[in-house]
A and B are shown apart, each in its own frame.
Chain A
């Protein structure tokens, strides 16, 4: 395919990364597996970033470069995807990421006062990580859980109908 060839030419001019040193064998295998789902390897970039992110919770420069090399596409292409999507983190985050829904349905059910409780108990604002590296607090658009608003996600767990009094109980489950 023409697209692939173009991408390959760019890669030849990129700094060579020792992929083996950055990605584990199973990560590399997963990346190759993702590529088989699409007619063009570039399409696997988001899957790859999400997979690699599982290890440390975020994606560093070396990992971005290694993904580019495995997929055979340019580093800026991978970086462009990594910086566009809000669920790919390019800087360190806490062990658990709290995503508070702040869209209109949750807003009408009092998400702003709920967010205040989170901010107070964790001692951080949106976009920050607690000093002990336990939690990062982020807003997120509608979680599609509006009948149980206010709603939030911690890591891969969804919570609905969260009251201000339950915040401490919810946080205790994540060490």
Chain B
């Protein structure tokens, strides 16, 4: 695990500070040292995580078919700005700066780019809520662009790849979007555990500054943009849009009431756009190739547009990530993962993270897009499948999920703070065969009391999704955890004797 897999970083030497032209702009010796250390640490880091990707994420893709990952076909990772530029890097930004912000917004709106963080809200519509002046360009006054890189949804590991291997793609996207919405400051809200991503992003920002892509009067467009990496210190709830803003402001990450929506009053009371990493990374390609091309990527498989980074984890042969047309079926994704490990059968699966409903093997042929999976009674969420095999007791799996949600509740509202530990207690009882007959009814009741509209944010409703679907599909497993009480036994006997 530690030594047998050497990192294949053929791009790494370019990524270090050596290639950055000396003396240009803000050449702080300290920052340079940090980048060199980053490159060194990247090697150590990569060595520790063995690769398990027999099917490459980009397939045989080109820029036309795999806008998010095609660059990885040419290099294991693209850390240097020169390499990135040679692969259409910063082309989208250059093109966008020649348009008006309203035109840029219009293209993304036409492309129907839906948020890849889980909710699927169209990014173009989100941006259009930002106040604009009469000329159609964004209003003067502070605005913020925040990238939600707080990837903590259990079973989700797509943003890590995009940030560790293609940091410039995200940096370019953020500069481009900042121009479209008129933001002067941006933050990449990165979870603290992504050490390598933080180093690579900081290095990318430093290189972009040296080339004039960041800072004042970017490429003579008159647009100014300053970008910072803000690393967190834990807590899943920071991924919730308004909790993230509170956390960014240096507060406890409790969610805020909506309205006002962040687009009107977000960070420090100013208009703020929060977008997921993958959502943002799609934008430069959309600007280069246009909305029609982006909509055509799904090949008629789905009403949604573009590609999606899908993945599989759990007991499959080759867990991993693949960029595929949106609407690819779960069965195809599982096939790329080599299917289940030998001797195991698929029992059920989570379509996109811990806060989605379980689906059954009969749902495998559904298109993995927001609407189709929604109609099947679940949510696509982040689109990374998690498979459960037939040897896994579903009560234990749900207990693990609810323990996670109970621990990560921010404690702001009562149903979530008190209801989730209650669910854990009941599930532990059932798991150990010490449940009471009424426990299952109480669990069902909790799925309603903690459901949508009963709590301050989507944390508790999300926690109830796997529970309610497990109760629906595998009720007998929960019933098996009920220990017969004396009264039950007497009733049972009297029925036999009657």
A44–B228 contact, CB under 8 A? no
B320 interface residue (CB < 8 Å to A): yes
B124 interface residue (CB < 8 Å to A): no
Interface stretch (choices B191-199, B217-225, B288-296): B191-199
Nearest chain B CB to A158's CB is how many angstroms away?
A: 6
A140–B193 contact, CB under 8 A? yes
Chain B residues with CB under 8 A of A103: 154-155, 354, 400, 404
A92 interface residue (CB < 8 Å to B): no
Nearest chain A CB to B160's CB is how many angstroms away?
A: 5
B154–A104 contact, CB under 8 A? yes
Chain B residues within CB distance 8 Å of chain A: 1-2, 44-45, 48-50, 52-53, 142, 151-157, 159-160, 185, 191-196, 228, 230-236, 247-253, 268, 311-315, 319-321, 350, 354, 384, 386-389, 392, 397, 400-401, 403-404, 407-408, 410
Most chain B CB inside 10 Å of its own CB: which residue of A81, A102, A139, A141: A141
Looking across the interface, which residue of chain B has its beta carbon closest to that of A145?
A: B157
A80 CA / B185 CA spacing, docked (Å): 26
A159–B152 contact, CB under 8 A? no
Nearest chain B CB to A133's CB is how many angstroms away?
A: 22
B234–A86 contact, CB under 8 A? yes
A123 interface residue (CB < 8 Å to B): no
Nearest chain B CB to A136's CB is how many angstroms away?
A: 14
The 6 A-B pairs of least Cβ separation, nearest first, read A103-B154, A147-B319, A146-B313, A85-B233, A87-B233, A86-B234
Chain A residues with CB under 8 A of B234: 85-87, 140-141
B154–A147 contact, CB under 8 A? no
B315–A108 contact, CB under 8 A? yes
Chain B residues with CB under 8 A of A46: 232-233, 247, 250
B250–A141 contact, CB under 8 A? no
16 A-B residue pairs with CB within 8 Å:
A40-B250, A46-B250, A77-B250, A80-B252, A87-B233, A104-B401, A105-B313, A105-B314, A141-B154, A141-B407, A144-B159, A144-B193, A156-B195, A158-B48, A159-B48, A160-B48
Looking across the interface, which residue of chain B has its beta carbon closest to that of A73?
A: B250
Looking across the interface, which residue of chain A has its beta carbon closest to that of B405?
A: A141
Interface residues of A in 136-175 (CB under 8 A from B): 139-149, 153, 156-163, 166, 169-170, 173
Chain B residues with CB under 8 A of A144: 151-152, 156-157, 159-160, 191, 193-194
A107–B397 contact, CB under 8 A? yes
A144 CA / B160 CA spacing, docked (Å): 7
A54 interface residue (CB < 8 Å to B): no
A141 CA / B159 CA spacing, docked (Å): 16
A87 CA / B234 CA spacing, docked (Å): 6
Looking across the interface, which residue of chain A has its beta carbon closest to that of B155?
A: A105
Interface residues of A in 19-41 (CB under 8 A from B): 37-40
Q: Knowing A103-B404, A160-B48 are in contact, say whether A50-B392 is a contact too (CB < 8 A).
A: no
Q: Knowing A144-B156, A146-B157, A148-B52 are in contact, say whether A104-B350 is a contact too (CB < 8 A).
A: yes
Among A47, A86, A104, which residue has its beta carbon within 8 angstroms of that of B155?
A: A104
Most chain A CB inside 10 Å of its own CB: which residue of B1, B194, B231, B386: B1
B52–A40 contact, CB under 8 A? no
Looking across the interface, which residue of chain B has its beta carbon closest to that of A143?
A: B193
A residues contacting the other copy or chain, number (CB 8 A): 54
A45 interface residue (CB < 8 Å to B): yes
Looking across the interface, which residue of chain A has its beta carbon closest to that of B254?
A: A84
A81 CA / B252 CA spacing, docked (Å): 5
A160–B233 contact, CB under 8 A? no
A64 interface residue (CB < 8 Å to B): no
B400–A107 contact, CB under 8 A? yes
A162 CA / B2 CA spacing, docked (Å): 10
A124 interface residue (CB < 8 Å to B): no
A43 CA / B270 CA spacing, docked (Å): 15
Among B45, B155, B156, B400, which residue has its beta carbon within 8 angstroms of that of A158?
A: B45
In the complex, besides A38-B250, A43-B248, A85-B234, 14 extra interface pairs with C-beta distance below 8 angstroms are A40-B249, A43-B249, A87-B232, A108-B388, A108-B397, A142-B154, A144-B191, A146-B154, A147-B52, A147-B157, A158-B48, A169-B2, A170-B2, A173-B2
Among B1, B315, B321, which residue has its beta carbon within 8 angstroms of that of A166?
A: B1
Nearest chain B CB to A98's CB is how many angstroms away?
A: 13
B50–A84 contact, CB under 8 A? no
Among B53, B235, B389, B401, which residue has its beta carbon within 8 angstroms of that of A85?
A: B235
Nearest chain A CB to B130's CB is how many angstroms away?
A: 18
Interface residues of A in 63-87 (CB under 8 A from B): 73, 77, 80-81, 84-87
Nearest chain B CB to A140's CB is how many angstroms away?
A: 7
Looking across the interface, which residue of chain A has its beta carbon closest to that of B45?
A: A158
Q: Knowing A46-B247, A104-B404, A146-B313 are in contact, say whether A84-B193 is a contact too (CB < 8 A).
A: no
Nearest chain A CB to B456's CB is how many angstroms away?
A: 16
Chain B residues with CB under 8 A of A93: none
A105–B386 contact, CB under 8 A? yes
Nearest chain A CB to B344's CB is how many angstroms away?
A: 11
A20 CA / B120 CA spacing, docked (Å): 50
B49–A108 contact, CB under 8 A? no
A159 CA / B45 CA spacing, docked (Å): 9
Nearest chain B CB to A36's CB is how many angstroms away?
A: 10
Nearest chain B CB to A164's CB is how many angstroms away?
A: 12
Looking across the interface, which residue of chain B has its beta carbon closest to that of A49?
A: B233
Chain A residues with CB under 8 A of B230: 37, 47
Among B50, B159, B386, which residue has its beta carbon within 8 angstroms of that of A104?
A: B386
B48–A80 contact, CB under 8 A? no
Q: Knowing A50-B192, A84-B235, A147-B52 are in contact, say whether A102-B45 is a contact too (CB < 8 A).
A: no
